Structure 1
Amino acid sequence: MKISDIKNELELTDTSKLDDIINKYRSDTRTGVIKLIQKFDREREKLLNEQKRMEQMRVYENKYNEYTYICGIDEVGRGPLAGPVVAAAVILPKDCNILYINDSKQLSEKKREELYDLIMEQAVAVGVGSVPPSKIDEINILQATYEAMRQAVANLSVKPEILLNDAVTIPEVAIKQVPIIKGDAKSISIAAASIIAKVTRDRLMVAYDSIFPQYDFASNKGYGSKEHIEVLKRLGPAPIHRLSFIKNFF
């Protein structure tokens, strides 16, 4: 066979059958085929490692497997000077096979966007909650985070039986909760929620950038970059700044 034909066969083969196809051509001594097999061996190894990592990310979901609807919860935006705090609640199907789900901070913007679409498409239910800057100033960021999480759970179309939370126990929620330290790196459900929350908030801050372009919210997402603080000192706050967070700059 031509090397191009072998390449096409490898690229079109289902991953579960890739071993058989690779082994079929492993004895081919042509340099081009040897390099091709080496390339697919490396890609196969990366895939196997990712599958193993994802299996480790299901340890809590497997531990509480007696529950049908396991919900992961995470938030984003506790630290910025501007914009809301956003929380997401995600119930994934038991047989969820989406790869590369991870703590949103460990992913590129492009990969987060890709995973956001896959999670929204395959999840049993997704809920999002958001608390604006004025409310954050009123009740403080911790209470605002709890409120965003309660909203996210309430906005699910399916009622969860257990909540896997990133490090916290949410007050006033009458559902079994399991707080997990660094849960967004240990639970596929929490990691999925972190991606939904991050992409949702980032998109919102990009939209705010068109209203308040001086502050470059599309780039800094409301966080206290040097440039953001300089503009803030020069122009004063926008309506979406958290006054309780920026009082030391004036």
Structure 2
Amino acid sequence: MDCRNRRPHIIGVDEVGRGSLAGPITVAAVAARISEKRSAKSDKLKKFLRGIRDSKKLSPKQREEWFRNLSLFTCHSSLVWAISSVGSATIDRIGISRAATLAVGRCMRKLTINYGLRTLNSKILLDGSLYAPRTYQNQETIIRGDERIPLIAAASIIAKVTRDGMMTHFDSRYSLYGLAIHKGYGTAMHRAAIIRHGPCALHRASFCKKLH
């Protein structure tokens, strides 16, 4: 979908991996055009989004199904999205909050470059403690936004499926830690593995100081 000269738009943004001990923080931004006119396409999209739920309330199989359905709407030009991940080294250097904001900004630029979306003029709705860079003045951070705003819920699913896939892939390289199971979060199994083997390149040193 080329969004040039088409407005207004609304963008839902969410992240996955903020509290993880290993791996990146991943942000997804999902954009839909706000239309004053009713159409079969817009009605279908609204009905679809009404049924979406926060990724944390879905099983992995359900998340994968929603991800495929979101991809279908993208193919039919109803939705567009962008994804950005910031890795452990950057998180250790600038902190998790700034890393999250950095990823949001990258998503906005991708939406502009790839789809011509005028993100500076779009309404940006972010979940929880997420913020876009200050240049995006029309932004709102909403507590439990992934439960209340369908576009944020869509972003949470895209971010979750994307990051989970990355961590499963990393598991083959760093097989001592069980990354495919816990996706880098601080489970008892993961903490025990860090204590036993020490951290690997994926681990956030600033998050693992007391474990080795």
Report what 2:73 is aligned to.
Answer: 122
Query: Equivalent residues in 2 for 1:180-219 (5 A)?
Result: 180-219=142-181
Paired residue secondary structure (2:200): coil
CA contact (8 A) 1:92 1:122 kept: no
How many Å separate the matches in 2 of 1:207 and 1:79? 20
Aligned residues: 184
Paired residue secondary structure (1:169): coil
Query: Equivalent residues in 2 for 1:57-206 (5 A)?
Result: 68-92=8-32, 95=42, 96=45, 97-98=47-48, 100-123=51-74, 124-156=79-111, 157=115, 158-160=117-119, 161-167=122-128, 168-206=130-168
Aligned CA RMSD, in angstroms, stands at: 1.5
Counterpart residue type for residue 91 of structure 2? I
How many Å separate the matches in 2 of 1:92 and 1:78? 25
How many Å separate the matches in 2 of 1:100 and 1:215? 36
Query: Equivalent residues in 2 for 1:1-12 (5 A)?
Result: none
How many Å separate the matches in 2 of 1:71 and 1:175? 13
Gaps of 5+ in 2: 1-6, 35-41
TM-score, normalised relative to structure 2: 0.82
How many Å separate the matches in 2 of 1:108 and 1:205? 17
How many Å separate the matches in 1 of 2:135 and 2:174? 36
Paired residue secondary structure (2:11): strand
CA contact (8 A) 1:93 1:122 kept: no
Following TM superposition, by how much is the alpha carbon of 1:117 offset from its aligned partner in structure 2, in angstroms? Answer: 1.3
> Which stretches of structure 1, 4 residues or longer, exceed 4 Å deviation after superposition?
none
1:54-89 deviations in Å (ceiling 9; x for gaps): xxxxxxxxxxxxx63111001010001000000000
Structure showing the higher helix proportion among its residues: 1
Following TM superposition, by how much is the alpha carbon of 1:174 offset from its aligned partner in structure 2, in angstroms? Answer: 2.5
Counterpart residue type for residue 105 of structure 1? K
CA contact (8 A) 2:104 2:131 kept: no
Going from structure 1 to structure 2, the CA distance change for 1:108 and 1:173 (only over 3 Å counts) comes to farther
The higher relative CO (CA closer than 8 Å, separation ≥ 6) is in 2
How many Å separate the matches in 1 of 2:151 and 2:62? 17
Following TM superposition, by how much is the alpha carbon of 1:121 offset from its aligned partner in structure 2, in angstroms? Answer: 2.2
Identity over aligned pairs, percent: 40
Counterpart residue type for residue 87 of structure 1? V
Following TM superposition, by how much is the alpha carbon of 1:175 offset from its aligned partner in structure 2, in angstroms? Answer: 4.4
1:190-229 deviations in Å (ceiling 9; x for gaps): 0000100011100000000011111110001000111111
Following TM superposition, by how much is the alpha carbon of 1:173 offset from its aligned partner in structure 2, in angstroms? Answer: 3.2
TM-score, normalised relative to structure 1: 0.70
Following TM superposition, by how much is the alpha carbon of 1:189 offset from its aligned partner in structure 2, in angstroms? Answer: 0.6
